[in-house]
Amino acid sequence: MKWEGRRESDNVEDRRGMGVGRVAGGGGLGLVAVALIVWALGGDPLAVLQQGLSEGGQISSGGGQITPEDEQAAKFVSVTLADTEQVWGDIFQRELGRTYTPTTLVLFKGATGSACGGASEATGPFYCPEDKKVYLDTGFFVTLSQQLGAHGDFAAAYVVAHEVGHHVQDELGILAKANAARQQASEADSNAISVRIELQADCLSGVWARQAADKLGTLEPGDIQEAVDAAARIGDDTLQRSAGRVPMPDSFTHGTSEQRQRWLATGYKAGSIRACDTFSTDNI
């Protein structure tokens, strides 16, 4: 992705350097409650993998030092976020006739608080509908590349775009409706709804990538393949297998590798929000 020297977003809340472990908004919430909330929100799959990996002792908990890699990552995220603002602003205007209100992206290192509970390296990136913010530990990109094997800057852009996709769902009222339905549902049905939420966010990230390619001209050869490869690496079946478990479809919350790749590609091919109706399709 062409990003160096490009415009950065004004909607980044940089909490790095506030000190590791200062959890500012989680007061009173126990770890179990936090975990439940993350689960209820369809917390991102990295958390699942990291749990799996840390059981094997392969993950060290994040330090608070801001490295040059973190600085690069922060700039990259900020440029990517600016691109999502431009693209979603255009799409909302053109396809929906309304104004897009951007999300704020909280960058942190180690741990911080959100209206949805504590955020840490272990939770992975997530979107909190309560405060309408995306939470991202810049150290996550190292995890993405080194532990998940998803290489290339566009793998990282896909992750940012996926979380922004949740904000788009929130703006459209889809997220609230789907989460309300999940609360009435059995665990298996709730997971199935979560899969549709997550695959839609993948599709929306594909829509964004297509518009970034066509309108901003910022994609480079191989970028989309990097995103599709990343999607394959964070499918529930692949993550469960990597953690040494037999994949259990009832427990999937984000979709299989095949589904995640397919919906990302669907969004990319169509370049329109209309291609992303994961809720009424028979072919999820």
Q: Which is nearer to Zn ion, 20 or 88 (CB)?
A: 88
Residue (20 or 34) nearer to Zn ion, CB? 34
- Give the binding range for Zn ion (CB under 5 A) out of 179-187, 190-198, 240-248, 261-269: 190-198
Closer CB to Zn ion, 123 or 211, in the complex: 123
Least CB distance from residue 201 to Zn ion, whole Å? Answer: 5
**Smallest separation, CB 270 to Zn ion (Å):** 20
Closest CB 197 distance from Zn ion, rounded Å: 7
Q: How far is the CB of 156 from Zn ion (least distance, A)?
A: 15
| DSSP 3-state of 4 | coil
DSSP label of 23: -
Q: Do the beta carbons of residue 76 and residue 4 sit within 8 Å?
A: no
Minimal distance in Å, beta carbon 208 to Zn ion?
14
Own/partner pairs, 241-249, CB within 8 angstroms, 24+ separation = 242/49, 242/52, 242/53, 243/48, 243/49, 243/51, 243/52, 243/53, 243/55, 244/52, 244/56, 245/52
Count of positions (residues) in the chain = 284
Q: How many helices (H) and strands (E) does the chain have?
A: 10, 6
Cβ-based burial of 123 (10 A; exposed 0-12, middle 13-18, buried ≥19): buried
Residues 194-213 that bind Zn ion (CB under 5 A): 198, 201
CB of 194 to Zn ion, least distance (A): 9
Stretch that binds Zn ion, among 65-73, 101-109, 191-199, 231-239 (CB under 5 A): 191-199
User: In the block, which residue shows the tokens 């917390």?
Assistant: 43
Burial of 183: CB neighbours in 10 Å, binned 0-12, 13-18, 19+: exposed
Footprint (CB under 5 A) of Zn ion, residues 40-79 = none
Closer CB to Zn ion, residue 134 or residue 201? 201
- Residue count, binding to Zn ion (CB under 5 A): 2
- Compare residues 20 and 191 and give the one whose CB is closer to Zn ion: 191
Take residue 129 and report the two structure tokens written for it: 């509908």
Q: Using the minimum distance from each CB to Zn ion, give the nearer residue, 20 or 127.
A: 127
CB-based burial, 232-258: b 16+ in 10 Å, e otherwise? bbbbbbbbbebeeeeeeeeebbbbbbe
x/- mask, Zn ion, residues 212-251, rule CB under 5 A, reads ----------------------------------------
**60 phi/psi in degrees, rounded to 5:** -95, 145
Report in angstroms how near the CB of residue 158 gets to Zn ion at its nearest.
11
Between 20 and 162, CB nearer to Zn ion: 162
Write out the residues near Zn ion by the rule CB under 5 A: 198, 201
